[in-house]
Structure 1
Amino acid sequence: MKRNTVPWQFLDDYRGSLFTGEWPTVPQLFTISTQRYPESPCFTVYEPDRVSLSYSEALERVRRIAGYLRQRGIAPGERVGVSGANSPEWAVAYLAVLYAGAVVVPIDYALSAAEIRGLLSSAGAKALFIDGEKYDAFIREDFSSLVCLNPGKDPYIYDLEADPLEKPLAVDDEELAAILYTSGTTGRPKGVMLTHRNLVADCLIAQANLNIYHSDVFYALLPIHHSYSMLAVFIESLSVGAETVFGKRMVVKQILHDLKAANVTMFLGVPMLFNRLLQGIMKGIRAKGPVVYGIIRGLMFLSGTIKVLFRVNPGKILFKSVLDKASLASIRICISGGGPLAPSVFRQYNQLGIDFVQGYGLTETSPIVALNPKEQYKVRSVGRILPGTEVKILDPDSEGRGEIAIKGPMVMRGYYQMPEETAEVFTDDGFFRTGDVGYLDRDNYLYLTGRAKNLIVTEGGKNVYPEELEDAFQLYNEIEQIMIRGFTLDKRTPGERIEALIYPNRDLFEEDLRDEDEGDHRIRARIEAIVAEVNTKLHSYQKIERVTVLDTPMEMTTTKKIRRHVVEKNS
């Protein structure tokens, strides 16, 4: 790649004046964007009226709060916790911590106060910014500073007074920027140490696979303590001087209002969210009757074919009324991450005229490793490997599938105060072992198969990855949650059989639930019919032999992943 074609070429204008070295730190990157676009909207929220901070206003608050942290004795390199719902205050606190040269520890606000306290203790946090709902659960004496992210509690972040810091104290891109605790789908959380170089390099290198612009409007709906939203929404938007609109609730009515009111162009989500939106769109089309439905599906197929063959997008015009009704007309790109997306979902969004991009990464890789370029996407792939990133497949089987290992500027420094666990996930030649299984094609596109630790080995010695089977159920409205796992009928017999744990969509079965005598039977019959239908499309060794219909939902993370270890322990 030629230097004059890279998306981060603009950094050359500021190297030597605002930063030195290859990459700026996160607050230096924010400062650069503020110089480029001082009056552009930076952080916006609808409460319900629009409230917005420009880049210059946001930087002024960041500098003042950074000064407050220094005044309270927070030294460079010390840890500061931030825990709360998505908001401009959360973003300002995050940037202020980094501006003061400290290390930010973003913590899942859905955790209990006791769990948050445990993670803060593990990180050795000296100060805490937290939402008002949990503010009173923390003792001021435990921290150099305890600050509320909402008005109504004292001190409120925007009321803090201090002499502002003139320049960021974080000046070396190799300095530690953040400790992100893994969501714990498999057990004990680990603190992932990410440097400024990890975050900024990953943010800008990802733009080689996906163009983003100053005019874009990002929607921060998923919790931004999570690496996916933190980088792909929050930091990406800051890097180009774009606007971030903070979604307050994962409620469809609120989401649709925000998308339309803010003219959102970049919408990032997880497969579950995009599945639900697509189900709603297709339900509305079906309601128009079989003839209209057939015509629209035919036009969708034609639109998708034209897009693939000629690299033009007729869907935006053909389906303008459909997209308007779904509040998606302004959307330029949807990006799905946090788990595999069914190819049929990917295909239908593109047919409707929305450029739909799938990516791959982990918290330990900042997180982006691969992105599907919208002009050259492959439906079944999670994306093309980013420039400057090495990926190799460890111990591949006869089909080329093996554990995915990664080396590049986005790979973490290690797990905080866990040297043994850190050593376990790196190969002798410095590659990070992801624990994911997949393969690469000749064009350097990555394909996911599943998680190595979830592997089911059948009696015939065949490998079955639960995630592949779970994906087959993504568009069945009747199923709210599904988890595939192995079971044994007889411990003396080697090999596992396959079971599906299913929690039905109780809204769809509302009428059946009112009939206590026959309702459960009808629900189970419908679920079993769906499983039987999916089984006809699977290899013989993949077929589901046992179905367990659950009365209560399975526990999930805030990024909508089932906590498999909790389900296994409780069943």
Structure 2
Amino acid sequence: MQTTTKTPWDFLSKYKDSDFSGEWPTVPEMFFITTKRFPERPCFTDFEGEGGSKNTLSYSQVEQKVKELASWLTEKGIQKGDRIAVSGKNSPQWGLVFLASLAAGATICPIDYALHEEEIKNLLNTAKPKFFFVDEEKFPTFDAQNAEYKVYSLSPKFPEKYVYSLKPNSIEHDFRSAKEDDLAAILFTSGTTGNPKGVMLTHKNLVSDAYIAQTRMDIFSTDVFYALLPIHHAYTMQAVFIESLSVGAEIVFGKSMAVSRLMKELREGQITMLLGVPLLFNKLLAGIMKGIKAKGPLVNGAIHAMMWISYIIKKVFKVNPGKTLFKSVLKQANIQSLRIAICGGGPLASSVFKIYNEMGIDFVQGYGLTETSPIIALNPISRFKIESVGQYFFPYMEMKILEPSADGIGEVAVKGPMVFKGYYNMEEETAKVFTPDGFFKTGDLGNLDSEGYLILAGRVKNMIVTEGGKNVYPEEIENAFQLFTDIAQITVRGYIADKATKSEQIEALVYASDDLFARLNINREASPLDESVKSEIEKIISKVNKELQPYARISKITMLEQPLEMTTTQKVKRGKISSNE
């Protein structure tokens, strides 16, 4: 650990040797240290009480449950290094299984609950867990099978196998059997059919990343994090779940992005830290701007003028007047309690980023991959750059650009304590993603400015090369459409315009929004490819094309009857798009 300057983890020196022995604590050691510091602080909260009422467990209450379940697992034969799988909606029960499995010395294998049962079975066959904890909808299916793993429930609807009902004979067990370099989690990123790719993360990977990320952002025990995105994903698991536990903050578990439930939980949870993906923040902003526009042109114009002034004051004088100026607007959107909003999981349009900051929300972008635990860049609150996904964490890690072009763009590569151990049982795949000097190749294209801020361009495998030799990055074009509510989904790719020269031009696959069909009074089911819908989309694309370089302009539009398949962080699964050659 760095000791020459003050760091967010300096306090750990008080607990060195007595509560942990490594360079970094393990995940359960970190949690038990936090419980010593803040035993009565709220830890896990949900709205699953009677009539949607609020339930909260303190850190000491969660600690008791963790030790009970960890002891029960040990008594049932779990040994250090065994694997335990969990799949379900965001919940305190999910969090309990995660922590207790690690406290028992096991490796946790979180599985996407949105996958089909056959896909989940494939991941289980790869992970080979001893136990599988699963939510109520899928529990009967897996419980009925004669599998090699034992199945238990995250839901009280199955009381005999409910996780809260599993009581040990004793809780006098060793909760520190795992060491910092031991495997903590296997996260499956893709390949749910065939041979799945499992990212192996150690305790050091997860804990070091949690604390090092705090060198770019202060978080406190008084913060309330909202776990809305699926918690099995590295982004929510780290940036919400583990970060909260590292400082004694409260975690509110959200199970649905339904607007009514989202608004209730934002309001009653008094959320201070909202982490989301572009889709979430775009939807939230669309509702806010619709409300402002409805006040009439005079008020609309005045508010936009105030927003512009607010942004200048914030950027130049480092003072944030927006929270006061737009108090009523923020209150109506149930985000008046927000201290910080962070967007990850994909690039956000600069215009969206700017509007949130204009209205007084400290809104920043971050960057990372599952293989990097995942956070490796974050915009500092007072020194954010709209065009950047963040400043990397020097001197605690290294980042460089491989084979940069004339404009400095190349593949982003990183080295540091948060970089993963490798892919599970895939030595050749692991070797491919590391350079000879030990840097992990992210597969992302970007460049670094003089202050270590990363500006992303796109994915290496998605880059389009035009006839003139120009590099076009689909993600940059797609970002230009984020505030157009008539478009629900747009995916840009290259297509072969001339088979003789093999030159590529730009095609847009577009799935129009339900709002557009409703506005045009067209029945989507009866006429999914109506010409008047396409005409509206063409107008939007023509408008955006004028802002693009000639070689990056969209020359072909393909309207979709059905949306393309998305990941849990709401990115299109490009690998599932059929070839257009």
TM-score when normalising by structure 2: 0.96
Structure-1 residue corresponding to 2:286: 279
Structure-2 residue corresponding to 1:501: 509
CA shift, 1:389, in A, is 1.1
How far apart, in 2, do the equivalents of 1:444 and 1:111 lie? 38
Structure-1 residue corresponding to 2:491: 483
**Structure 1 residues 461 and 175, CA, compared in 2 at 3 Å: closer, same or farther?**
same
**Structure 1 residues 492 and 569, CA, compared in 2 at 3 Å: closer, same or farther?**
closer
Structure-2 residue corresponding to 1:29: 30
Structure-2 residue corresponding to 1:74: 78
CA shift, 1:145, in A, is 2.9
Structure-1 residue corresponding to 2:411: 403
How far apart, in 2, do the equivalents of 1:253 and 1:276 lie? 13
Worse-superposed segment, 87-96 or 184-193: 184-193
Q: 1:150 aligned to 2:160?
A: no
**Structure 1 residues 187 and 403, CA, compared in 2 at 3 Å: closer, same or farther?**
farther
Question: Is the Cα–Cα contact under 8 Å of residues 176 and 196 in structure 1 kept in the other structure?
Answer: yes
**Structure 1 residues 46 and 393, CA, compared in 2 at 3 Å: closer, same or farther?**
same
Q: In the comparison of the two structures, how many residue pairs are matched?
A: 571
Structure-1 residue corresponding to 2:390: 383
**Structure 1 residues 195 and 143, CA, compared in 2 at 3 Å: closer, same or farther?**
same
CA shift, 1:368, in A, is 0.2
Worse-superposed segment, 251-260 or 313-322: 251-260
Question: Is the Cα–Cα contact under 8 Å of residues 86 and 223 in structure 1 kept in the other structure?
Answer: yes
CA shift, 1:508, in A, is 3.3
* Secondary structure of 1:427 counterpart: coil
* Secondary structure of 1:120 counterpart: helix
Structure-2 residue corresponding to 1:449: 457
Structure-1 residue corresponding to 2:9: 8
- Which residues of structure 2 form unaligned runs of 5+? none
**Structure 1 residues 186 and 124, CA, compared in 2 at 3 Å: closer, same or farther?**
closer
**Structure 1 residues 286 and 102, CA, compared in 2 at 3 Å: closer, same or farther?**
same
Question: Is the Cα–Cα contact under 8 Å of residues 185 and 561 in structure 1 kept in the other structure?
Answer: no
CA shift, 1:186, in A, is 12
2:467 to 459, 480, 486: 459
How far apart, in 2, do the equivalents of 1:436 and 1:256 lie? 35
CA shift, 1:2, in A, is 6.0
How far apart, in 1, do the equivalents of 2:517 and 2:292 lie? 21
How far apart, in 1, do the equivalents of 2:355 and 2:277 lie? 16
Post-superposition Cα deviations, 1:443-472, rounded to whole Å, max 9, x if no partner, equal 000010000000111111111010010000
Post-superposition Cα deviations, 1:296-325, rounded to whole Å, max 9, x if no partner, equal 000000000000000010000000000000
Structure-1 residue corresponding to 2:213: 206
Post-superposition Cα deviations, 1:337-361, rounded to whole Å, max 9, x if no partner, equal 0000111111000000000010000
How far apart, in 2, do the equivalents of 1:466 and 1:212 lie? 35
2:92 to 85, 88, 94: 88
How far apart, in 1, do the equivalents of 2:119 and 2:502 lie? 40
Q: 1:525 aligned to 2:530?
A: no
How far apart, in 2, do the equivalents of 1:430 and 1:340 lie? 27
Worse-superposed segment, 162-171 or 103-112: 162-171
Which structure 2 residues correspond to residues 85-234 of structure 1 after superposition, within 5 A?
85-138=89-142, 139=144, 141-153=146-158, 154-162=160-168, 163-183=170-190, 189-234=196-241
2:315 to 305, 308, 313: 308
TM-score when normalising by structure 1: 0.97
Structure-2 residue corresponding to 1:394: 402
Structure-2 residue corresponding to 1:556: 566
How far apart, in 1, do the equivalents of 2:53 and 2:183 lie? 37
Q: What do you get for the CA RMSD once the two structures are aligned? A: 1.7
Q: 1:546 aligned to 2:556?
A: yes
How far apart, in 1, do the equivalents of 2:241 and 2:549 lie? 42
- The AA in structure 1 aligned to 2:162 is Y
Structure-2 residue corresponding to 1:512: 521
- The AA in structure 2 aligned to 1:536 is K
**Structure 1 residues 517 and 550, CA, compared in 2 at 3 Å: closer, same or farther?**
closer
* Secondary structure of 2:320 counterpart: coil
* Secondary structure of 1:63 counterpart: helix
How far apart, in 1, do the equivalents of 2:425 and 2:363 lie? 39
